[in-house]
């Protein structure tokens, strides 16, 4: 028999009316009976006493297997919903559509937006794609770690609009890489995923070997292209590549731009991995002279030193300047290249000048002024010189007249 259902409810827009109609038709599509759903928007500002109808719709939607997984996860980890922060029912419906696409095909639908820079609705669309991708990674166990292991602050870093695609540091490169997050699952460092920390280190080692530094004009335009390697990059491109790749694997990461008040780093980018207490103080670190000879973990400011650096960024840019410069100098002298060995051959004063020119204020920024270094650096400079000189002598870097 035919069943005619007439619903006259408070629906604030035709789009929501269409959503309810599609829910109704999907629910009864397999029934032998014939049903018709008529939705008449009343234009009232709230749902009022019709809330129970939407509760029924929610219950029926949750019957779908893949969406039930989502609801169960949101119940177990409520901070996820707070971080994603759906602005309306249309955003929730779009999230569910994207999640279903991932659950059924393993891919997100192509992003239809224009080339970056993006704004407004387009950025919210990328945010919903990221949210669906993150939840799919979790529910389908695509990585051996879990969102459930992160604290609330780390979840907000990973999933909040304001810390990812809506951040002021999310420039055109970040936006372009953010379009196709599933490409991160096929990156060179995902062959043997074991932990977030190991993945970050593998990513950094790959960047050290595959990226050559320049201003980045010919750098890749998509995440898939970037993963091919053998290209040039700037700190903006490298932090975007590492940040987006980590985020796409459900590793909290925050790409940030230094304030102009930092003389040595103004207008440059860094990336922080809070769950692992690792901070890449400059996007060019992996392939720069200071770190290229060092173990990959030396590229990062870690643990308590990271906390000190973040505090200095907020409260004392001059100290942050010095800590950043000292990090590079400290690593470079412990793992010197040929030019540093030769400078040490000429004596401590020459080595000091060499390091200040390399890591101090180069005159590239308008606020540039002579750098001062932490007392620790001044006290240890003699020991550094001795170590580097000894190494240079042993490896034949010094002319015989300096022996």
- pLDDT tens for 87-126 read 999 999 999 999 999 999 999 999 987 877 888 899 999 9
Which of 15, 40, 61 is a domain's end point? 61
Domain presence at residue 28: yes
Bridge partners, 233 (sequence order): 213
Look at residue 272 and tell me whether its pLDDT is greater than 90: yes
Domain presence at residue 20: yes
Look at residue 35 in the predicted model and tell me its pLDDT: 44
Look at residue 3 and tell me whether its pLDDT is greater than 80: no
Domain presence at residue 47: yes
Domain presence at residue 92: no
Indicate the pTM of the whole model: 0.75
Domain presence at residue 190: no
Which of 61, 88, 112 is a domain's end point? 61
Per-residue pLDDT, averaged over 243-268, amounts to 83
Look at residue 192 in the predicted model and tell me its pLDDT: 76
The residues, any chain, with a CB within 8 Å of residue 350's CB and separated by 6 or more, are 343, 344
More confident residue, 357 or 220: 220
Domain presence at residue 175: no
Q: Are 151 and 143 in contact (CB under 8 A)?
A: no
Per-residue pLDDT, averaged over 218-222, amounts to 76
Placement of tokens 């990090």 in the chain: 327
Predicted confidence band of residue 360 (pLDDT cuts 50, 70, 90) = low
Domain presence at residue 152: no
What residue numbers bound the domain in which 396 lies?
Answer: 336-403
Domain presence at residue 31: yes
Look at residue 70 in the predicted model and tell me its pLDDT: 94
Look at residue 68 and tell me whether its pLDDT is greater than 60: yes
Which of 10, 43, 61 is a domain's end point? 61
Closest residue by Cα to residue 154 from 300, 270, 253: 253
pLDDT one-digit tens code per residue, 14-41: 455 555 555 545 554 444 444 444 443 4
Predicted confidence band of residue 140 (pLDDT cuts 50, 70, 90) = very high
- Number of structural domains (the chain) is 2
Long-range contacts formed by 109-112: CB under 8 A, 24+ apart: 111/179, 111/180
């Amino acid at each position: 028999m035919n069943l005619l259902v007439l619903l006259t409810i408070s629906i604030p827009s035709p789009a929501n009316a269409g959503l309810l109609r599609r829910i109704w038709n999907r629910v009864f599509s397999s029934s032998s009976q014939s049903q018709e759903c008529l939705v008449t928007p009343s234009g009232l500002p709230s749902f009022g006493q019709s809330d129970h109808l939407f509760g029924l719709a929610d219950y029926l939607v949750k019957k779908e297997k893949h969406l039930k997984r989502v609801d169960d996860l949101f119940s177990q980890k409520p901070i996820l919903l707070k971080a994603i922060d759906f602005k309306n029912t249309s955003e929730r419906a779009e999230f569910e559509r994207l999640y279903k696409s991932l659950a059924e095909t393993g891919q997100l639908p192509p992003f239809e937006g224009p080339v970056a820079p993006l704004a407004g609705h387009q950025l919210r669309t990328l945010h919903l794609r990221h949210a669906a991708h993150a939840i799919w990674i979790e529910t389908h166990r695509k990585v051996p770690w879990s969102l459930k292991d992160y604290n609330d602050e780390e979840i907000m870093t990973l999933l909040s609009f304001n810390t990812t695609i809506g951040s002021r540091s999310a420039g055109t490169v970040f936006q372009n890489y953010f379009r196709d997050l599933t490409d991160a699952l096929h990156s060179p460092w995902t062959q043997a995923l074991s932990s977030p920390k190991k993945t970050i280190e593998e990513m950094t080692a790959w960047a050290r070997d595959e990226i050559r530094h320049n201003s980045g004009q010919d750098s890749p335009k998509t995440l898939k292209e970037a993963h091919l390697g053998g290209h040039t990059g700037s700190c903006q491109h490298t932090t975007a590549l590492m940040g987006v790749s980590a985020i796409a694997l459900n590793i909290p990461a925050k790409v940030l731009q230094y304030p102009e008040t930092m003389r040595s780093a103004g207008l440059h980018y860094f990336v922080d991995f809070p769950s692992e207490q690792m901070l890449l103080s400059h996007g060019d670190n992996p392939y720069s002279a200071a770190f290229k000879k060092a173990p990959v973990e030396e590229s990062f400011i870690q643990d308590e030193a990271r906390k000190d650096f973040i505090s200095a960024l907020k409260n004392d840019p001059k100290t942050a300047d010095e800590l950043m410069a000292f990090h590079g100098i400290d690593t470079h002298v412990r793992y010197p290249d040929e030019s540093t060995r030769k400078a040490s051959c000429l004596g401590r004063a020459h080595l000091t000048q060499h390091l200040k020119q390399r890591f101090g204020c180069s005159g590239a920024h308008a606020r540039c002024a002579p750098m001062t270094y932490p007392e620790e650096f001044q006290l240890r400079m003699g020991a550094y010189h001795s170590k580097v000189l000894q190494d240079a002598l042993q490896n034949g870097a010094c002319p015989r007249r300096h022996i």
